[in-house]
Structure 1
Amino acid sequence: MASHLKNLSDFSHTTVPTAGPYKFGIVVAAWNAEVTGKLYNGAYESLLKYGTREENIISVEVAGSYELIAAADILLTSKELDAVICLGCVIQGETRHFDFICDAVGHGLANVGLKHTKPVIFGVLTTDNQEQALDRAGGKHGNKGDEAAITAIKMADMASKLK
């Protein structure tokens, strides 16, 4: 079904394991704070909902989406975490800056995950405008922060079972 017709944050079709045994990092970009704050709240609340203890969530704020890369790497180097959730929002502008940032962040976060052999979750909105971003940060299309947290829980659980 087309995304304009549904809430993408519906998890009724899947089982979400308990997050109780796991530790998570959340890195959130301050740029586009109206959007990223809602993403953060969604991720944080979802982790708690599925059993993560508050003391097992480390939250870090960085300037923008590009800085998510270094922060995720620093967290995984300095803390025993099962996954890091990276939340940001890059809105298309008049220049190619959007393309460069989105590409760098995607590749950078993937590389951090591979380097540490830990899930690094891409919760970065890449939208054409503010309305699309808000629709995906608790609006009519759900909250990508929720989705990022569920992904982190599932990946941490999968990694734990494979050890």
Structure 2
Amino acid sequence: MASSLKNLSDFSHLQVKSAQGLKFAIVVSQWNAQVTGALLNGAIEGLTKHGAEEKDIKIIEVPGSYELTSGADIVLRNKDIDAVICLGCVIQGETRHFDFICDAVANGIANVSIKYNKPVIFGVLTTDNLEQALDRAGGKHGNKGKEAAITAIQMAHISKEN
């Protein structure tokens, strides 16, 4: 598996544009807080490292990953937001609940992006266990929150330029 070979949050091969002057919202799930808190920290770090000011980053906490779609929809009513980053973590359990939640969240995030014609970034971990989630929330495979921040910067520029 490719992810077992490297840190996925290495962006040294990319020329990431400045986030200065852009406005972001981060919608983050409170469920699996150990993981989502690390994702949130990674996203903030990724945005500020590339020039975003903390005053231009709005953070909205929602109960779980399923509510990320509603949170993104609510925050996009504010026309000043250039991109939304959705952060969550769904860990496989013993029932099919995992499948329904992951499918609903992925489709919901895509739909809200289309509804508002704004970038809404999928920063949701869908893992088999907590160890895999932690590996992707600042562990040996990088931080998906940071990756989502870079994606948000890139997509906000594409949206503004086209």
Q: C-alpha separation between the residues in 2 aligned to 1:72 and 1:125?
A: 17
Q: Say which SS state the counterpart of residue 78 (structure 1) adopts.
A: coil
Q: C-alpha separation between the residues in 2 aligned to 1:101 and 1:159?
A: 28
Q: Structure 2 matches for 1:145-156, cutoff 5 A?
A: 145-156=145-156
Q: C-alpha separation between the residues in 2 aligned to 1:33 and 1:134?
A: 11
Q: C-alpha separation between the residues in 1 aligned to 2:116 and 2:160?
A: 15
Q: Structure 2 matches for 1:2-151, cutoff 5 A?
A: 2-151=2-151
For 1:102, the aligned partner's letter is C
For 1:132, the aligned partner's letter is Q
Q: C-alpha separation between the residues in 2 aligned to 1:25 and 1:115?
A: 16
Where has structure 1 moved over 4 Å in runs of 4 or more?
Answer: none
Q: Say which SS state the counterpart of residue 77 (structure 2) adopts.
A: helix
The CA deviation at 1:79 is 4.6
The CA deviation at 1:53 is 1.0
Please report the TM-score for the alignment, with normalisation by the length of structure 1.
0.98
For 2:53, the aligned partner's letter is R
User: Any unmatched runs of 5+ in structure 1?
Assistant: none
Aligned pairs, number: 162
For 1:19, the aligned partner's letter is A
Fraction of identical pairs, as percent: 69
CA RMSD between the two structures: 0.8
